[in-house]
Structure 1
Amino acid sequence: MVHTFPLALPASMVEAHRVDLTAKPSDGWHVAVFDVAAAPSGDTYVLYGARRYRPSIPSVEDPAEQNFTYGIISRYAPDGSPSDTALFAQPHPDGSLSAIPEAGDMTLAILPDGTVALSEKPGSTFLISADLSRVLEAWRMPFGYSIEEAGPGDPYAASLSITPSGRLLSVTSEYGLSNWAGARPNIVALSEPKTNLAPGAKATLQAIASLDNQAARQTEADLRQYVRFQEAPVGRDNRPSPSLTELVSSSTARPHDYRECTLGRPVPLGDDLFVVPVFSRIYRSGNRGGAFTFALLDDRGRMTGRLEGLDLYKDSPFTGFCFSVVADPHRKRAFHLNRYGLYAWSSDGQLRARMSTEEKALKALTHFALMACTPEGELLLVHRKQNLVLRVPVPEDLRDLPSAMETALRTYGTQRTALKKRFSPTGWHWVEESARVHRF
């Protein structure tokens, strides 16, 4: 059943900072969604941020009027009602620092035991209890342009996803690649079956792909014992070969298009098949028409194909930077939404449904971001401006998805009207008082 529920801000936070909900991004007030994850229990976790920055009052004495930045994780019951909310990044009222620092690129994953894993680029991972009441473990990767400057730290993954059997599909970062400064997401790695990520116990990851193999500048200090290839830590020449860059560029007439390419977040299509997005370099002059590949890799790192049927220009994900691919590993289907359409593939990489946003009935999709797929096979979309989450059941036959999506968008409008009467939002900001609020 199609269901819409609001992305709520904690009332206590709004009141403590006297937030003007009528303010716009141009006024320094901004709310953004980073990721959504669905648990097997039916709960939905939403990771988002709220920020107020007003340069005209940088040293105001009243704490309620000062600038702030919060990371927020909210847990929603299957009916869409919020049960718990966790606040982090912003220092506590007594001045003590948050257990989870601020970061601009964060992802969520729900481990098989219900633990929430929050990953921050380039490689910090935090384990959080399912009820969002406490941080169970913190593996931090310090910032620095080199391992010598940053120090070894205690990193883990830049992103995590979970396969049906509980394997961890991850991206880890490396220093000393090509001419890059700093740590760069580079290794796609996979844990063994029935291994568990838990406080004090990092699951060993086996590298299956390396985006950039130019690592001659690396030293022993750059090796991470938990990321391995051929029974030794990944580093220098000990890594999967050929590189992922070489694999995706091998079938194009212009292999230089993938020079200095970037790695998207891999998602599982099953326990042994994964979608690994690769995007060409970002240019200030515009990127529509730039090269990209949604590669299909097996658990040995072999490229078995790609998600077919997209035109580099007409279906470009670079417009609006719509880089996410989501997958339903239980039914072996993949989905992608950008400003030009919604697309669905079967596990063999064949395009089974294409929904153009030029069609009047689907035009509203341009305002949504596709964030996740639930274990029940439902798509989770977030409206970028109206801060609403839309849950859409996907029919067994993907050819029926266009009509199902049209119905979902009509239902969204009706349910949105009902929610407005119930909550009376201000500037499309929904405020909730009933959820338990925790601070890290």
Structure 2
Amino acid sequence: MAATLPLTLPAAVVGDHRVDMTGTPTAGWGFRTYAVAANADGETYAYSCAMRYRGRSAVPSDPFQMDFTYHLLTRYAPDGTPTATARLGGATRGNVPTGLTEGSDFDLAVLPDGTVAVSSHPGNTHLFSADLSRLVESWRSPWGRDEEKERNGDPFAHSIDVTPSGRLLCAVAEYGVKNWAGRVANLVALSEPGSTLGPGSKATLRAIATHDGLTDRQTEADHYPHVVFDGAPVGGGNRPSPTLTEMVSTDDRTRFDYTNCRMGRPAAMGDDLFVVPVFGKTYRSGSRGQVFSFLLLDGQGAERGRLEGMHRYEDSPFTGANWTVVGDPYRARAFHLNRYGLYAWDAEGQMRSRIPTSDTPFKALTNFSLMGCSPAGELLLVHQKQHLLLRVPVPEDLGDLEDAVRAALKAYGPGRNALKRQYAPVNWHWVDDTAPVHHH
């Protein structure tokens, strides 16, 4: 049965800074959820950011006036009740992210032992206890302000996904790729059986795919001891081939179209089946109709096909920048949502459902972002304006997905109204004063 959950703000953040929740992003106030994950017990974790930027009008010594950026990792019971929040960051001059809040492209995963992993570009990974009371371990790669620190940081992974047997499927960013500045996501890597990620222990990752093999600028210092290929750390020419770019560049035209393409977040469809998105270059003038491919790889990095059936223009993920493909590794399925539809595929890459958002019952899907699939087989959809999470159970037969989504969207309104009576939100902000807040 579909469920609607609130994405809450701790009352302490609102009260400590007298936040005017009627404010808009143009007024310097914003709240956004970046990532959602669920565990096998039905609990949900959400990673969000609350920020206020007053610029020159900020008074650094006055908590009611100063700028702040808080990243919030919140745990929810199966019924949607918030049970704990880890509050990261704080008030800084100029609203500069520091420490645990550095990075971009935030990602969330629940590890086999219940530990929660937060990863971000260019390789920051932070581990929290399941109850969010403890920061278990932290690997950082400074980003954006000091190139030398970024090059010599201590990264782990750009993103993490977990297979049914507990192996970690990771995207790893590399320095010195082609003519790109800084680190860029360039490796798909898989943890070895028995290798663990925990306090003082980086899991050993075996590289199974490279996005771009032009790494002439790399030096010995750019190699990662925890990412290996052919028995040695990945770096320079020691890497898997052919590259993802070569896999998608099948002729002269596609070779031109995929120039300066980029790799999306890999997702597990099983223990030995993964989908890796590759997107062509984006243009300021608009990129609808630009090329993209969702490659299927096995645990050795061999191509096993593609997710088929999407039209380059009519189903373009470039409109609205919808880059996420999520996998259901327990049932060997994959899903994607963009401005034009919700799509579902089986293990062979055959499209089993296409739900167009142009159809009246499904127009509301354009308000949601697809952020994951729970172990129970539920799609996790986030409404960024109303700050709500919709859990949509996926039927065993993907041909019945349309009926399930229709029922979930129909139940969304009554579920939202029940939450409004409980929380009395202001401008769709759901403030909670019950869950403990842990400062890290």
Deviations 1:238-263 (A, max 9, x none): 11111110101226842211111111
Q: 1:216 and 1:274, CA in 2 relative to 1: closer, same or farther beyond 3 A? A: same
SS in 2 for 1:187: strand
Counterpart residue type for residue 14 of structure 1: V
| Residue number in structure 1 paired with 2:292 | 292
1:101 is displaced (CA, Å) by 3.1
User: Are residue 74 (structure 1) and residue 74 (structure 2) matched?
Assistant: yes
Deviates more, 1:192-201 or 1:28-37: 192-201
Is 1:139 the counterpart of 2:139? The answer is yes
State the match for 1:436 in structure 2. Answer: 436
Change in CA separation of 1:98 and 1:148 when aligned onto 2, cut-off 3 Å: closer
Q: CA deviation at 1:144?
A: 6.5
Counterpart position of 1:193: 193
* 1:373 paired residue number: 373
Q: How do residues 171-210 of structure 1 correspond to structure 2 at under 5 angstroms?
A: 171-210=171-210
Residue 23 of structure 1 deviates from its aligned partner by 0.7
Q: CA deviation at 1:122?
A: 0.5
Partner residue, 1:390:
390
In structure 2, the CA distance between the partners of 1:350 and 1:141, relative to structure 1 (3 Å rule), is same
Counterpart residue number, 1:269: 269
Instruction: Decide whether the 8 Å contact of 2:104 with 2:122 is kept in 1.
Output: no
Matches within 5 A, 1:403-418: 403-418=403-418
Question: Mapping of 1:17-416 within 5 angstroms?
Answer: 17-59=17-59, 61-90=61-90, 100-143=100-143, 148=148, 150-250=150-250, 253-416=253-416
Contact 1:126–1:138 (CA<8 Å) still a contact in 2?
Answer: yes
Please give the alpha-carbon distance, in whole angstroms, between the structure 1 residues aligned to 2:336 and 2:378. Answer: 14
Runs of 5+ in structure 2 lacking a partner?
none
TM-score by length of 2: 0.96
Counterpart Cα distance in 1 of 2:89 and 2:200: 23
Quote how far apart the aligned CAs of 1:225 are. Answer: 0.8
What is the identity percentage for the equivalent residue pairs of Structure 1 and Structure 2? 54
Take 1:264 and 1:204, find their aligned partners in 2: how far apart are those partners?
Answer: 22
Partner SS state of residue 89, structure 1? strand
Verify the 8 A CA contact 1:160 1:171 in the aligned structure 2. yes
- Structure 1 moving runs of 4+ over 4 Å: 144-149
Which stretch of structure 1 is more off in the superposition, 156-165 or 100-109? 100-109
Q: How many residues align?
A: 437
**In structure 2, C-alpha distance between the alignment counterparts of 1:4 and 1:16, rounded to whole Å:** 28
Query: Normalising to structure 1: TM-score of the pair?
Result: 0.96
Higher mean C-alpha deviation, range 35-44 or range 243-252: 243-252
SS in 1 for 2:57: coil
Offset at 1:98? 6.6
- How large is the RMSD of aligned CA atoms in angstroms? 1.7
Alpha-carbon distance in structure 2 between the residues aligned to 1:123 and 1:91:
24
The range that moved more, 24-33 or 352-361, is 24-33
Instruction: Tell me the alpha carbon deviations over residues 201-241 of structure 1, each in whole angstroms, 9 at most, x when there is no partner.
Output: 11110001101100111111111111110001111111111
CA distance in 1, matches of 2:203, 2:229: 14
* Cα distance in 2 for residues equivalent to 1:216 and 1:86: 41
Amino acid at match of 1:297: L
Q: Please state whether the residue corresponding to 1:226 is helix, strand or coil.
A: strand
Tell me, yes or no, if the aligned pair for 1:145 and 1:183 is still in contact at 8 Å: no
Contact kept in structure 2, 1:87 and 1:437, CA below 8 Å = yes
Q: Following the alignment from structure 2 to structure 1, what is the Cα–Cα distance between the partners of residues 146 and 69?
A: 27
Q: Is the 8 A contact 2:103 2:142 kept in 1?
A: no
Q: Which amino acid aligns with 2:350?
A: Q
